[in-house]
Amino acid sequence: MKITFDVERIQEALANPEQSGLDDVDLAVLSTCLELAGGSNQCVLIDDTRAPKKKRKPRPSRIKRSKRK
């Protein structure tokens, strides 16, 4: 996942947290994005979670029996 953001607006929000209207969690996330970006205006997050595979439903035994005959 690639996040692009405006560095100047984030720095303004962090400099004036009362005026930004953001709570502590939002400000912490923004400061983390700035640290991860390292001077650029992009932050790349790698999502390593995978959706669990769907299990196949077992075939009903009546179908199995009918195919054997």
Q: Which of 37, 28, 31 minimizes the C-alpha distance to 4?
A: 37
Is the pTM of the predicted complex or chain greater than 0.75? no
Question: Structurally, how many domains does the chain consist of?
Answer: 1
Is residue 12 included in any domain, yes or no?
yes
Distances (CA, A) of 50 to 10, 19, 22: 31, 39, 31
Q: Whole domain around residue 10: which residue ranges?
A: 1-48
Is residue 59 included in any domain, yes or no?
no
Is residue 14 included in any domain, yes or no?
yes
| Helix, strand, or coil (residue 14) | helix
Which DSSP category does 65 fall into?
A: H
Give the pLDDT confidence of 11-60 residue by residue, as tens digits. Answer: 888 888 888 888 888 888 888 878 877 767 766 666 666 777 788 877 76
Give the pLDDT confidence of 18-32 residue by residue, as tens digits. Answer: 888 888 888 888 888
